[in-house]
Every structure is written in C-alpha cells, then in structure tokens.
Amino acid sequence: DVKVTQSSRYLVKRTGEKVFLECVQDMDHENMFWYRQDPGLGLRLIYFSYDVKMKEKGDIPEGYSVSREKKERFSLILESASTNQTSMYLCAIPGTFGSGTRLTVV
C-alpha cells in the first residue's frame, strides 16, 4: 500500500510560533503537494514540489513556505503562525493523501 504519512494528527501552537508540518511518502514520487481544508472553502493548494529542492506556489501560499531536501520528505512551514492558519492540512502525492494534521493556532 502506498503511504503518505503526516507526522502529527493534532497540533496546537501559539500565535507567532514557527511551525513545521512534516510529510513523508514511500512511493519515490517526484510530485508532492500541501493543501489546506476549511469548511465552506473546500481544499486549496498551498504549495507543491516537482522534484528535490524544486517548489512552486499554489493558490494560497501567503504565510507559508516549504522545504524539500529529500525526495521522500516535504515540509510545510508556517513562518509566524496566525489564528487564520487554524485549519486541516493535507499532504499528498498524485492519487494518495495523508491522514491530515489538524492545526489550531491560539
């Protein structure tokens, strides 16, 4: 079975903290994605990566950055967490999603 693993199921962080969300895949796929999901807004693409060290902005990149130093790992970084970044974050490779990280910023 293809696995996309997100390191945390639930996270609570304080406003202004730097937050790292980690995602690991075991399919050796070039493409990895970060989405956020909010009620009434559906899933929106934040960033994606098409190779190691290569990244492109999605539809809502503001307030986020990403890192892909190794092919299997794609990290989403909230440089200075804000309450409007409270959301469900989903990592994916084509056709397979992780279980999601529910982040609450207080």
Among 11, 24, 27, 45, interactor with another protein by CB under 8 A: 45
Strands annotated E in the chain:
4-6, 10-13, 19-25, 32-38, 42-51, 54-57, 64-70, 73-78, 87-93, 96-97, 101-105
Q: How far is the CB of 56 from another protein (least distance, A)?
A: 8
Q: Is 43 in the site for another protein (CB under 8 A)?
A: yes
What does the alpha-carbon distance between residue 55 and residue 68 come to, in Å, rounded to a whole number?
Answer: 8
Q: Is 27 in the site for another protein (CB under 8 A)?
A: no
Among 1, 14, 28, 40, interactor with another protein by CB under 8 A: 40
If the CB atoms of residues 26 and 59 are measured against another protein, the closer one turns out to be 59
Measured at the alpha carbon of residue 73, what is the angle toward residues 4 and 41, in degrees to the nearest 5?
A: 60
If the CB atoms of residues 58 and 63 are measured against another protein, the closer one turns out to be 58
If the CB atoms of residues 20 and 50 are measured against another protein, the closer one turns out to be 50
